[in-house]
Chain A
């Protein structure tokens, strides 16, 4: 079993502009069961002649039984799209949109806190389980292989880099989860670690963090107490100076805890195999698994 997505995934895609349509095509090519497309005003039409369009998420869910939603709408409308999916009862909502105002995410997190929906993102690459051909988001399907390493990351392309390194060293992935680079985001490292720990298919975990915040330290605390599977970690931004935002809204050193060195230390002390260079993720995992 993979985590969060699998053969039972019934995917709804919201926001089919240029990027959304491109990604929806890749998602279907990969083999994911996309059951609904939501784009106001296209009722009655079909995406790629097969997937019905709906103007509202509620209608789409009622007609198709969609249980997972992915959001590609422009950032100013992302809060609304997330809430619309939550209100429609979707179990897993993945928000890819980049540049969502942080105060919108603050409201979203408050809104969903007592609801059954799990949110991933915003500003994330989404997730993918190779064995069940389930892809929700933008992780390229051609770089992954089925296997037993779970990958969780704050970054997009650095996740691809880690996946490529694993594949190069002969290791596939159970599920790859990009949790996103925004300071306020849904599912955290800790949430995903809990799922990987409970997942039979996952034997080991790669965790990719960044400068900024204290989420890596919280992950370290959780690993020390609850994770028995080996974890390899890399933190990007060791050479980043304080006070300069490195692209991601969350990637800025504002205090001591936000430093890569502090995160490395916390993870090492929790028994995590921390690589000094992000080029060594695959090699280190191979060494740890002795394969």
Chain B
């Protein structure tokens, strides 16, 4: 789960990680007040769940409270389109007003789980402000890594090693070491999937401060952090993803797709996307209905796909182990009738009660083409594309 920068900053504050003086505003008037209270140059930062906001005017340095008010007024209520959002962008409902610092040096630090070694890994780099993927590509020698021990955590000496590798000024060594150990605690104690500070800055007076804060929380662990679960902001999701989220469906909207996909199982869902793509019709979404979806969820899943204007054709691929094909079929028919769906639907149905499910679909009067398996579905999609005029 993504959270906003101001929420991440609050967590850092709670764990004693130094951050700039900053407050969050929902109106331009509040933004002006906060800027006046800070009493110096401030940065106005749009609070959205997407990177790349600096390049599209989502982060602005201003000199006066009046300027802060103006910038906040233009950002609030707008939608920000960055290289990480879809064409619709994400809504700006809050801005953070943060004191501007006199920066001497910019560093990078992040913590993620490295599944391949089975431990949290802390990565740091002297190249702050840059995308870490770029640094990894062009100057991998500037990235330092250390894995935390699953039972002991991150030892102070490891944190000090990182601080030394970052070549922080001698006067900031102790504070940097503490900041690194505290960040590691933030990661572990909140069950994060990502903690990223980019940039971590050294100020002209040798203070070390987390200038930016990005925290992702692990969905599967939210049950033990009810207070963090409340930080969810579903307005930041694509509207269709928002609906899926409410219905407890694993759905991801994909840009530039044509085929709506409905599948049980994540691996099979990806494979289904792949065969649609290979057949010349890119997938419009990832959708895993899981093993225990009831008819209501199936109906909502189908309606979500139907509500996507990009979708020209639907591909249902079900290999029912736990799931029951007849329940899925009933759900599809009910939703299709309700939405007056006339789009072609290609269906591959195998496993538990598959014959029953196929019978229900066949007798429904919907525009359905049956396929025996993935290979058959590929052929059926190609054929449908041709019938539709092979438009691209």
* Chain B residues in 8 Å Cβ range of A105: 118
Query: 0/1 per residue, A115-142, Cβ < 8 Å to B?
Result: 0000000000100000000000011100
Residue B292 is within 8 A (CB to CB) of chain A in the complex = yes
Binds B, one of A28-36, A40-48, A95-103: A95-103
Please report the total number of A residues contacting B with Cβ < 8 Å.
Answer: 71
Residues on A with beta carbons closer than 8 Å to the beta carbon of B373: 161, 164-165, 168, 279
Q: Is the CB of A156 within 8 A of B267?
A: yes
**Is the CB–CB distance between A101 and B270 below 8 Å?**
no
For A75, the chain B residues whose CB sits under 8 A away are 220
Q: Mark B242-279, 1 if CB is under 8 A from A, else 0.
A: 00000000101011000000011111111101111110
CB of B266 within 8 A of CB of A279, answer no
Of B136, B151, B265, B278, which one neighbours A158 at CB under 8 angstroms?
B265
Partner of B84 from A100, A181, A212, A243 at Cβ < 8 Å:
A243
In the complex, are the beta carbons of A215 and B191 less than 8 A apart? Answer: no
With A236-B267, A238-B277, A251-B266 as contacts: A107 and B220 at CB distance below 8 Å? no
One of A102, A244, A255 near B220 (C-beta < 8 A): A102
Taking a contact as CB atoms under 8 Å apart, the answer to whether B350 and A164 are in contact is: yes
B residues at A contact (CB < 8 Å):
84, 112-113, 115-116, 118-120, 133, 136-137, 149-151, 188, 191, 193, 218, 220-221, 223-224, 250, 252, 254-255, 263-271, 273-278, 282-283, 286, 288, 292, 319, 321-322, 350-352, 373-375, 377-378
25 CB contacts below 8 A, A to B, read: A19-B292, A23-B322, A76-B223, A76-B224, A102-B113, A102-B220, A104-B221, A106-B118, A109-B118, A140-B351, A155-B266, A155-B268, A156-B268, A157-B319, A184-B113, A213-B116, A234-B271, A236-B267, A240-B273, A240-B286, A247-B266, A247-B270, A251-B267, A251-B270, A278-B275
A140 is contacted by which of B113, B151, B264, B352 (Cβ under 8 Å)? B352
In chain A, residues 217-259, which have Cβ atoms closer than 8 Å to a Cβ of chain B?
A: 218, 234, 236-241, 243-251, 254-256
Contact between B274 and A278 (Cβ–Cβ < 8 Å)?
Answer: yes
- Judged by a CB distance under 8 angstroms, whether A110 is at the interface is yes
Q: Would A218 and B286 count as touching, CB distance under 8 A? A: no
A residues in contact (CB < 8 Å) with B: 19, 22-23, 75-76, 99-107, 109-110, 125, 138-140, 143, 153-161, 164-165, 168, 181-185, 208, 210-215, 218, 234, 236-241, 243-251, 254-256, 276-280, 283
User: Shortest distance in angstroms between B144's beta carbon and chain A's nearest beta carbon?
Assistant: 17
* Cross-chain contact B115 with A184 (CB below 8 angstroms): yes
Tell me whether B292 and A181 are in contact (CB under 8 A): no
What is the bound-complex CA distance between A182 and B266, given in angstroms? 11
Taking a contact as CB atoms under 8 Å apart, the answer to whether B118 and A143 are in contact is: no
Chain B min CB distance to A7 (Å): 24
A181 touches B221 (CB 8 A): no
B331 to chain A minimum Cβ distance, whole angstroms, is: 18
Closest to B112 in A: A254
A215 to B218, CA, bound (A): 21
- Do residues A278 and B374 form an inter-chain contact, with CB atoms below 8 A? yes
Contacts of B220 in A (CB 8 A): 75, 99-102, 249
In the complex, the answer to whether A247 meets B378 with C-beta atoms within 8 Å is no
Q: Are B221 and A103 in contact (CB under 8 A)?
A: yes
List, in ascending order, chain B residues with CB within 8 A of A100's CB.
220
Chain A residue numbers with a CB within 8 Å of B269 are 246-247
Q: A138-B322, A236-B268, A283-B375 are in contact. List 19 more A-B contacts (CB 8 A).
A: A101-B218, A103-B188, A103-B218, A125-B321, A138-B321, A165-B373, A165-B374, A185-B115, A208-B267, A214-B116, A237-B273, A244-B286, A247-B265, A247-B269, A248-B267, A250-B115, A277-B274, A277-B278, A280-B375
